[in-house]
Amino acid sequence: VALNALELCVNASSRLGSNARTSAAGDQAKACSQVTPDIIKQVFDRTNLLYDKAGEEHYNIISAFIKSLRGSDVDAAVYYLARMIEGGEDAEFIARRLLIFSSEDIGNALPTALVVANACFDAVRKIGWPESQLILTQTTIYLAKAPKSNLSVRAISSARAEVQESGNLPIPLHLRNAPTKFMKDLGYSQGYIYTHSDPTAQQEFLPKEIKNKKFVK
């Protein structure tokens, strides 16, 4: 029990804001030398906030977090972020979910959201606790307040459904690469208009069987 308590103190010292924090991050020996009964009590008092990272509450909280972001409820999003932080969730897990969210639920409604979320993920990997909470909070607020769009999800889902239904439709001849004379004789690349030479040229790009399909709508 004493060893477990000591390990908890070392892991939690950076979050408790206690005297156990050291100026040299990761200096466990110095941190352990400053463990006091009060610190141990604080750690055990906080264990009721921890949750099983593979259990139901883990998934309930991350679900509530993502749904709050999607619903643009910035206060709820920050609250559930705090629940995860206090529960001992892995910072990279949270950052990874923010990165996915930025593309899945914001996308081209605000393309910089993906850039911000990716920067958040990189920063969290470099910084660690406790400072990562600031990076995660900043990104959470930014994404919660951003305009929302799931166009990318709908577009790729529709296109994949078409591929699964229609299979490997032939690529139009004028779009095929023609590195050899034999391929050119077969009609590969013939009739293709280089768009930069004639931006107004009308030509088909989808296979003829689905030429009128719209996936991005």
- Mean of pLDDT over the chain: 82
pLDDT per residue as tens digits for the range 160-192: 999 999 999 999 998 898 888 888 888 888 888
Tokens 């409604």 appear where? 109
95-101: list long-range contacts, CB under 8 Å, 24+ apart. 95/120, 95/121, 95/124, 95/125, 95/132, 95/135, 95/136, 95/139, 96/121, 97/62, 97/65, 97/66, 98/136, 98/139, 98/140, 98/143, 101/66, 101/69, 101/70, 101/143
Whole-number percent of the chain with pLDDT over 70: 74
- pLDDT of residue 48 exceeding 70, the answer is no
- Supply the pLDDT for residue 35: 62
> Which residue from 144, 150, 62 is spatially nearest to 103, judged by alpha carbons?
150
- Name which of 22-36, 51-65, 105-119, 128-142 the model is least confident about: 22-36
Q: Give the residue with greater pLDDT, 16 vs 131.
A: 131
Q: Which of 118-122, 195-199, 200-204 has the highest mean pLDDT?
A: 118-122
Q: Give the domains, in start order, of the chain with CATH numbers.
A: 2-48 (no CATH), 56-145 (1.20.272.10), 170-210 (no CATH)
- Using CA atoms, how far apart are residues 98 and 137, in angstroms rounded to an integer? 11
